[in-house]
Amino acid sequence: MFSPKFSPALGRPLLQAFSPALFAWLCMAPPAQSQAPAGNKPETKPASAKGDAKAPVAQKKKAAARSLQVSMRDGLRFDPPRLSVAPGQDFVLTVENADTTHQTHNLVLLNPGTLQATVQASMELGEKGPELHFVPKSPNVLASTTVLGPDQKVQLKLKIEKPGIYPYVCTFPGHGMVMYGALYVGEPMPELSKDPNVPSVTLQAMTAGGGRRPFIQRMFMPDTGPASIAVALPGKQNYCWDSVLCRLRYSWTGSFLDASEHWSGNGKALATLPEKPWWTAPRETLDLRFGKPESPAPKLKFRGYRVSEGLPEFHYTADGKDVFQSVTEMPEGAGIVLKYRIPEPPPMTVLILGKNTPFKTTSGEMREGALRLTADQAREFTLQLSVPQP
Ligand SMILES: [Cu+2]
């Protein structure tokens, strides 16, 4: 059995003034840096009612309370950076410091629109900061945790009646400008990549590759085979290449993959696309034929890819013939260019593009939805695909 030991500075759960619309209490798990034997994980103790004498709900078992979780993570960010709850819904927010760099953090839940002012006020606490856990006294503070050390966990029991977007922020000195998120109460959430309530630092950390470009990622992705490769081009285009069908699958503009589910789960979760693809390959588009369009589909075998200047050149064989394919971005992100190389092509190579194809070609003859290339032309050719203009 644990008996929680707190350092004087972090001694009691900190209770703030509560808005009438909300009440909260805290319960604190013992600090994990205590002398607990390995494997003895601190447990969250049952909540004890504090802070609001008018809140007998604390003693009653509330069956319907929703449980939400937010973790403090490396790189000064909350995970998830957004939460959503219905107005008037009882919920328990578990806040855990999961920062492996041993940073300490707090979480302060605020009235809508008071993030900047609260961060400012916390910076003005001066030497009073530590004893207040860096939480300024303000009616805009709806609930707050103490400063949490590594692996410490706290629960806030909450209910918010009034719809709105309630920021949560870490006011530990130096963190408030980048470490925040938002609780959506009865409000629709915008697309994550366009949410002004999510800091860009957080968005980047949630993006596969940390937002680096170019970047190559093998990942389970929506609407494609399990062996797909996602690539962030150096500008603003991204694409998914299917290594079973050996062809481009789709392309989208903007942020790369949101891989947070993938990393936090069992590794099987699908990455999500922050944007709808502006092009998805219809069935049989980009299929290769040797001889005539009616020739049987060649046997494809993916051989891997090599990387040059951060970008992959895919290699596969079609009926034993080597085919190389790479993708680059058109100037100003206006689209993508597919480059094919077939070092030893047969006398005639055909690429099925479909009628009314959006692809522009610079060589070969386009007839009835099929691009026909002589051996000379097939050694190296490109296809341009522009982002459709609205
Ligand atoms: Cu912090």
Give phi and psi for 126, each to the nearest 5. 60, -135
**pLDDT value of residue 261:** 54
**pLDDT value of residue 304:** 94
The CATH architecture that domain 8-203 belongs to is Sandwich (2.60)
What's the CA-to-centroid distance between 31 and ligand 1, angstroms? 17
What's the CA-to-centroid distance between 185 and ligand 1, angstroms? 23
pTM of the model: 0.60
**pLDDT value of residue 26:** 36
What's the CA-to-centroid distance between 106 and ligand 1, angstroms? 6
**The pair of three-digit structure tokens given for residue 323, joined into one six-digit string:** 């085919």
**pLDDT value of residue 384:** 96
3-state secondary structure of 41: coil
What's the CA-to-centroid distance between 306 and ligand 1, angstroms? 41
What's the CA-to-centroid distance between 86 and ligand 1, angstroms? 27
Q: Are 338 and 385 spatial neighbours (Cβ–Cβ below 8 Å)?
A: yes
**pLDDT value of residue 202:** 86
CA proximity to 154, closest of 119, 104, 111: 104
Residue with tokens 């690539």: 231
CB atoms within 10 A of CB 164: 18
What's the CA-to-centroid distance between 75 and ligand 1, angstroms? 9
What pLDDT, in 10s, does the model give residues 25-50?
333 333 333 333 333 333 333 333 33
What's the CA-to-centroid distance between 175 and ligand 1, angstroms? 5
**pLDDT value of residue 259:** 62
What pLDDT, in 10s, does the model give residues 205-220?
877 777 778 888 887 7
What's the CA-to-centroid distance between 1 and ligand 1, angstroms? 30
What's the CA-to-centroid distance between 126 and ligand 1, angstroms? 17
Q: Are 314 and 324 spatial neighbours (Cβ–Cβ below 8 Å)?
A: yes
- pLDDT by residue for the chain (390 residues), tens only, comes to 333 333 333 333 333 333 333 333 333 333 333 333 333 333 333 333 333 334 444 444 545 789 999 999 888 999 899 999 999 999 999 999 998 888 999 999 999 999 999 999 999 999 999 999 999 999 999 999 999 999 999 999 999 999 999 999 999 999 999 999 999 999 999 888 788 999 988 888 877 777 778 888 887 777 777 778 999 999 889 999 999 999 999 999 988 877 665 554 445 566 778 789 999 998 888 999 999 999 999 999 999 999 988 899 999 999 999 999 999 999 988 999 999 999 999 999 999 998 888 999 989 999 999 999 999 999 999 999 999 987
Domains in the chain: boundaries: 8-203, 209-386
Q: Are 390 and 339 spatial neighbours (Cβ–Cβ below 8 Å)?
A: no
What's the CA-to-centroid distance between 270 and ligand 1, angstroms? 29
Residue with tokens 């694409």: 239
**pLDDT value of residue 45:** 35
What's the CA-to-centroid distance between 110 and ligand 1, angstroms? 15
What's the CA-to-centroid distance between 123 and ligand 1, angstroms? 13
What's the CA-to-centroid distance between 199 and ligand 1, angstroms? 13
What's the CA-to-centroid distance between 105 and ligand 1, angstroms? 4
What's the CA-to-centroid distance between 69 and ligand 1, angstroms? 16
**The pair of three-digit structure tokens given for residue 35, joined into one six-digit string:** 């002398």
CA proximity to 224, closest of 202, 239, 241, 204: 241
